[in-house]
Amino acid sequence: MKTARFFRKTPVLAASMLSLSLLVAQSANAFELTSKDIQEGHPMAKTFEYNSWGCDGGNQSPQLMWKDAPKGTKSFAITAYDPDAPTGSGFWHWVAYDIPANVTALPRGVDINKIGGKTARIDYGTTGFGGVCPPKGDGMHRYQFTVWALPTATLNVGPNTTPAVIGFTLNNMALGKAKLTATFTR
């Protein structure tokens, strides 16, 4: 009974504790992105390095899987972005969208078109995945892989829509997103 009297006398603390317990419950089922190929904060293998622009890697996209997408998700988008690129605006390595809602994993080297999705032009001037390729001696770069849960089955963009416009669209409409950041140095 002392606990009940305490909370009656301190409603702000009671509300705060209730909010905290709700946050803990929600985080147990938080939208999550994981990979067998890349780990948060760790260097990526040469398998994921681009094979042009002075780089000679395997140019494979990493295996990705996600769970606990928000309710109402009708499709997914995947982006890979290097915020450390010496461009003043970062560098987009992958923009895939219209991935069906029943897809919750992508194998290494996936062809997004074969699973019903689409890809947009990236900063290499091509579509599809473009591996990591930071300039030699530029230090460590971070590569942010993000899966976006979307409330529509079709994103109203085309293959020539710029990555920045697609990123803007995703940020404005996503029900949720999950991110995994790996690194690479040359």
pTM of the model: 0.84
C-alpha closest to that of 37 among 112, 123, 110: 110
**Tens of each residue's pLDDT in the chain, 186 residues:** 554 554 455 554 444 444 444 444 444 579 999 999 999 999 999 999 999 999 999 999 999 999 999 999 999 999 999 999 999 999 999 999 999 999 999 999 999 999 999 999 999 999 999 999 999 999 999 999 999 999 999 999 987 899 999 999 999 999 999 999 999 999
157 Cβ contact partners less than 8 Å away, ≥ 6 residues apart: 97, 120, 165, 166, 169
Please, are residues 84 and 92 in contact by the beta-carbon 8 Å criterion?
Answer: no
What pLDDT score was predicted for residue 167? 95
Please, are residues 93 and 122 in contact by the beta-carbon 8 Å criterion?
Answer: yes
107: tokens are 């194998």
CATH domain 31-184 topology: Phosphatidylethanolamine-binding Protein (3.90.280)
What pLDDT score was predicted for residue 7? 47
Rounded Cα gap, residues 142 and 138, in angstroms: 12
Rounded Cα gap, residues 92 and 43, in angstroms: 18
What are the residue ranges spanned by the domains of the chain? 1-29, 31-184
7: tokens are 């909370």
Instruction: State phi, psi for 25 to the nearest 5 degrees.
Output: -65, -40
